[in-house]
Chain A
Amino acid sequence: MKEKYTYHSVQSEIKFEENTVKSFNKIDSLDQSFRVYENGFLGVHYQKGEMSDDEGFSRARENLSLKRPYPYQPESGVRSRNKCERVLTDKELMDLARTCLSHLSEKYPNFILSGGFYQYHNDEHWVNENGLDYQNIDCNVDANICFKHIDSKDISDGWFSLGDRDFKPEKLYKMAAHYLGSFEKEVELPEEIIVQKQYYDYTEKLIESLNAEKIALGTSLLSGKVGQKVFADSFTLLHDVSDEECWHNTFWDGEGCVIPDDKRVFIENGVVLSGYSDKRTAKKYGVPHTANAGGNYTDIPSIGWLNARIRRSEKTVKELLDGRLSIIPVQYSGGGFNDKGEYVMPVHLALLSDGENILGKLPPFTLSGNMFDMFGKDFIGVGSDNPIFNDKQILVRMNVIKQD
């Protein structure tokens, strides 16, 4: 039984340094993974660049000599998904970059800007002799803007980024107005500390803890807690590969498995339903198979892919704040979660917000919290809208240690 995975990626990038366009780079890249299933073993050959099917499968067959066990049946199914809305030519991308950079440089002369404009166009295709034929095509443009105030002694004062399938400069300008427009106005920390942030930074420990193998081995903070209510009533976390705001995610996992409606709930209304698993983990530990294998195209698949989403509230960020103010960490580094799930993070730059607009720049401080509290008693919600940074954002109460 033969199987072939192809990943064709075309990336165009315009890079700028200190407000000046410096380079245009183009990467046209082809990755191929040839797999041969035989007698419970899997032979794999990974090739960067072109290679004929005959040679690729021949090398995969040679790789069977390593006797890499894979006693699972290949999947089947036919589906194609094209999420592209607009594909820019290189000239259009260059014009977009120059237009945006010129606008930002004129509007914010007190800032030195570096970064890039990128277009990613990816085509992933997976076929096998068992009737599987899956394809996912996607394209988006990202703008990453690093800023530094001309009077600052730091290398960088912060950054913001915008990604979209149909990139509109006006959205970027609105973000710039939030981040740069209020930078020079200094404000004080509010009494109640509510953090408003894209939630990806905060779900890292939770995702690690939901690994079904870690839960089974007793090395997860959620070991022994499956079936129990651990988090807030309003906290629901799911694996969602239909997510319109995530670019380039396939609807299949690293073993070719597809889940109903492209979604699976792992924590519902605070109750941990199960960990996530691949076929091997499910069989070895007797846990539900959840189709969360990572895409290892140089070897046999293994557990590890979760496109985690926290279910949104029906209220907007502003409504969730209910008159309170929030803080938005912009420049922060060095801390994170420890083994106990406690979170500490020095924040060098943060902004104060009313949920819709930025009110000014806060002095440095250190944030602290705890995973169980952040998604438990201190969890306020994920707004129904995307103010400030055009992305899903969590509101969570945390503690602050002020810095001198």
Chain B
Amino acid sequence: MYRFPKDLYADVRINENVQSNIYIKNGEVENNTSVSVTGAIVRVYDGEMWYSSVTNDLSAIQQELDDLAGLAKPNPDILNDPMVKNFEVNRAEVLIYDGENDLRKVGREQKMQLLEGLIADCVDDSIPEINSWDAFYNDTHTVKRFYSSKGAAITQDKQACAAGIYFQITVNGVTTSGGKSQRKMDLGSIKNLSQEIIAERDRTLDFARNAVDVTPGDYTCVLAPVVTAMFTHESFGHKSEADFMLNDKTLRDEWIMGKTVGNEKVSICDSGDMPNHGYTPYDDEGSKARETWLIKNGVLTGRLHDAHSAAVLGEEITGNCRAQSYQCMPMVRMTNTYMQGGSDNVEQMISEVEDGIYVYCVNYGTGQSTFTMQPSICYRIRDGKLAEPIRANVVTGSVFKTLFDIDAVGDDFELFDSYFCGKNGQTVSVSAGGPTIRVKSLTVN
């Protein structure tokens, strides 16, 4: 193993990644790629600063360690540094994707067959409004190894695959894109997508033919589970990441534990242990995953930490220190984050709305004090029933107000594995989930 430098903390994280990608546009194969990349990041900490370097040559790791140690200042008391004290010394091998479900064992032909099957089922040349379509399959498998000067030695794996078809549908000179893709952790879970793709294709056709522009204003909104998932991640999830509030008295006072921050029907959790897209059994500084309840029955009960933020705020680590790849330093990130399902009947939730908007799906969202979501398909709710499709550009609301304005939480919880989350230039895989919820007032433009 490595000779770690004296009087410094150091760790080594090695990623071995295999990815494949197939992309077919209007029947032509535009991409059929398989790429393998192995690389490592070497980090040294002296109590004041991190020093890191990245290499694709695993035989150079020892030299990198020695070189970085030369830049850092030796610190005989490094093991008493509050952050270093927080680093766990786990020794584990968690390989759950090296058996029959290992995507690396699936040949290109089988992946191509899966995609061609979806295309045969779902592409219908007789629909005149469909001008173009894109079908894709991609997968990724990573084995990650982590070693620290405190003695941690962890090997873990992770994988995901996705397939789908999107259609460009042109009506009256306006092109609307719609379709369906599914991302799961093994090939078997994405094999039978055809009916879902066809349903979304037809829904988008109806939307393109019949959607009317929204009249901007404030509406009672019912959010479908996939939209609640986005809302949960963007509106509250990012605010639960503790690294933004370390020396910020205003935010620490605002987000004090035990404070009521939403309706009692609202409970939000993050857990890296679930075998979903945010699966992180050990994070990128070697901490074991925890289930962290961020809000329980409307009350702030937790936040997400790495070893540094936990040390500064005097709280427990939560296993949420993650990096995009071996080329990046880790930071506090979500994993699998969801709003817990409730007991309200969804049909009844809609039937109680006299005039409102049902947000069926969204393209993306962002979160500050004001959160925003860009919807792709909405429907007007009139007299308790779904009515005409609505074309809207953006749904916004105040995080602080909206969590209290949630007056119904549905019993139809779903977890979605299709998300990627961006923060400070790094993108990591996450899951987000939730049930249908009703919000008394959101601004729709």
* Residues of chain A whose beta carbon lies under 8 Å from any beta carbon of chain B: 15, 17-18, 21-30, 44, 46, 48-50, 66, 68, 112, 148, 150-156, 214, 217-221, 223, 296, 298-300, 302, 331, 333-336, 338-340, 342-346, 348, 364, 366, 368, 401, 403
Q: Which 4 A-B pairs have the closest CB atoms?
A: A334-B372, A49-B56, A344-B393, A333-B366
The one of B33, B327, B393 that contacts A342, using a Cβ cutoff of 8 Å: B393
User: Taking A150-B249, A217-B132, A334-B366 as contacts, is the C-beta distance between A23 and B394 under 8 angstroms?
Assistant: no
* Residue in B247, B327, B391 whose CB lies within 8 Å of A27: B327
Q: By the criterion CB–CB under 8 Å, are B168 and A156 in contact?
A: no
Q: Is B275 located at the chain interface by the 8 A CB criterion?
A: no
Q: Separation in Å of the B273 CB from the closest CB of chain A?
A: 26
Q: Are B368 and A348 neighbours in the complex by a CB distance under 8 Å?
A: yes
Instruction: Summarize B's interface: helix, strand, loop or mixed.
Output: strand
B-chain residues with CB within 8 Å of residue A17 when the two chains form the complex:
243, 246
- Can you give 11 contacting A-B residue pairs, CB < 8 Å? A22-B49, A68-B32, A150-B249, A217-B26, A217-B131, A300-B30, A333-B366, A334-B374, A334-B394, A335-B393, A343-B393
Query: In the complex, given contacts A23-B329, A302-B30, A345-B394, what are 19 additional A-B residue pairs having Cβ atoms less than 8 angstroms apart?
Result: A17-B243, A18-B246, A18-B247, A25-B329, A29-B327, A30-B56, A46-B33, A46-B35, A48-B37, A50-B57, A150-B248, A152-B250, A153-B254, A221-B173, A334-B365, A335-B445, A344-B445, A346-B396, A348-B369
Give bound CA distance, A346 to B365, whole Å: 12
Which residues of B does A touch, CB under 8 Å? 21, 26, 29-33, 35, 37-39, 49-57, 71, 108, 131-132, 168, 170, 173-177, 216, 238-239, 243-244, 246-251, 254, 327, 329, 364-366, 368-374, 391, 393-394, 396, 443, 445
The CA-CA distance from A220 to B248 in the complex, in Å, is: 47
**B250 near A368: Cβ-Cβ < 8 Å:** no
Residue contact A21 to B366, C-beta cutoff 8 Å = no
Bound Cα distance A270, B35 (Å): 43
Roughly how many angstroms separate A270 CA and B127 CA in the complex, as a whole number?
Answer: 35
Chain B neighbourhood of A335, CB < 8 A? 372, 374, 393-394, 445
Say whether A26 contacts B32, CB under 8 Å.
no
A340, closest chain B residue (CB) = B174
**Measured CA separation A221–B216 after assembly (Å):** 24
How far is B254's CA from A334's CA once the two chains are assembled, in angstroms? 24
Decide: A27 and B54 in contact? CB cutoff 8 A.
yes
B122 to chain A, nearest CB (A): 18
A25–B31 CB distance below 8 A: no
How many residue pairs link A and B with beta carbons under 8 A? The number is 158
> With a CB–CB cut-off of 8 A, which chain A residues contact B251?
153, 155
CA distance A326 to B290 in the complex (A): 49
Chain A residues positioned under 8 Å from B365 (CB to CB): 334
Query: Are B57 and A49 in touch, CB under 8 angstroms?
Result: yes
Q: Do the beta carbons of A153 and B250 come within 8 Å of each other?
A: yes
Q: Bound state CA distance, A223 and B168, in angstroms?
A: 14
Name the one of B52, B238, B239, B443 contacting A403, with C-beta atoms under 8 angstroms. B443
Q: A48 to B55: give the CA distance in the assembly, Å.
A: 10
If A48-B56, A344-B394 touch, whether A154 touches B369 (CB-CB below 8 Å) is yes
CA gap between A366 and B394 in the complex, in Å? 10
Contact of A339 among B26, B32, B176 (CB under 8 A): B176
- B29 in contact with A21 (CB, 8 Å): no
A314 to B363 CA separation, bound complex (whole angstroms): 39
Q: In the complex, A46 Cα to B31 Cα: how many Å?
A: 13
CB distance A29 to B54 under 8 Å? yes
**Other-chain residue from A28, A46, A342 in contact with B54 (beta carbon distance below 8 A):** A28
Q: Which B residues touch A218, using CB under 8 A? A: 131, 170, 175
Q: How far in angstroms is the closest Cβ of chain B from A68?
A: 7
If A30-B56, A299-B32 touch, whether A155 touches B239 (CB-CB below 8 Å) is yes
Check B370–A112 contact: CB distance below 8 A.
no
In the bound complex, do residue B329 and residue A339 qualify as a contact, i.e. CB atoms below 8 Å apart?
no
Q: Is the CB of B32 within 8 A of A219?
A: no
Residue on A nearest B239 in the bound complex, by CB: A155
Q: How far is the CB of A383 from chain B (nearest CB, A)?
A: 28
Is A339 within 8 A of B368, CB to CB? no
A-side contacts of B35, CB under 8 Å? 46, 48, 298
Q: Does the CB pair B71–A24 fall under 8 Å?
A: yes
Cβ contact within 8 Å between B370 and A346: yes
Are B250 and A150 neighbours in the complex by a CB distance under 8 Å? yes
Q: Which residue of chain A lies nearest to B218 when distances are taken between CB atoms in the complex?
A: A404
Q: Which residues of B contact A219 (CB under 8 A)?
A: 131-132, 168, 170, 175
Separation of A56 and B277 alpha carbons in the complex (Å): 33
| Option from B39, B52, B108 in Cβ contact (under 8 Å) with A49 | B39
Cβ-defined partner of B29 (8 Å) among A44, A50, A68: A68
Among A28, A333, A344, the one with the most B-chain Cβ atoms within 10 Å of its Cβ is A333
Q: Provide the bound-state CA to CA distance between A92 and B35, in Å.
A: 36
Tell me which of B26, B249, B372 contacts A346 (CB under 8 A).
Answer: B372
Residues of chain B lying within 8 A (CB to CB) of residue A150:
248-250
- C-alpha spacing A139/B177, complex, angstroms: 39
**Alpha-carbon distance A217/B374, docked complex (angstroms):** 26
Check A366–B52 contact: CB distance below 8 A. no
Contact A66 B49 (CB under 8 A): no
CA gap between A24 and B52 in the complex, in Å = 6
Residues of A near B177 (CB, < 8 A) are 339
A26 touches B52 (CB 8 A): yes
CB B437 to nearest CB in A, in angstroms, measures: 19
The reply to whether B368 and A155 form a contact with Cβ atoms under 8 Å apart is: yes
Instruction: Select which of A15, A21, A364 is within 8 A of B329 by beta carbon.
Output: A15
What's the minimum C-beta distance from A122 to chain B, rounded to whole angstroms?
A: 15
Contacts of A403 in B (CB 8 A): 443
Q: How far is the CA of A334 from the CA of B372 in the complex (A)?
A: 5
Complex interface: chain A residues within 8 A of B50 (CB):
22-25
Interchain CA distance A150-B247 in the complex, whole Å: 10
Bound complex: CA of A218 vs CA of B170, how far in Å?
8
In the bound complex, CA of A35 to CA of B99 (Å): 34
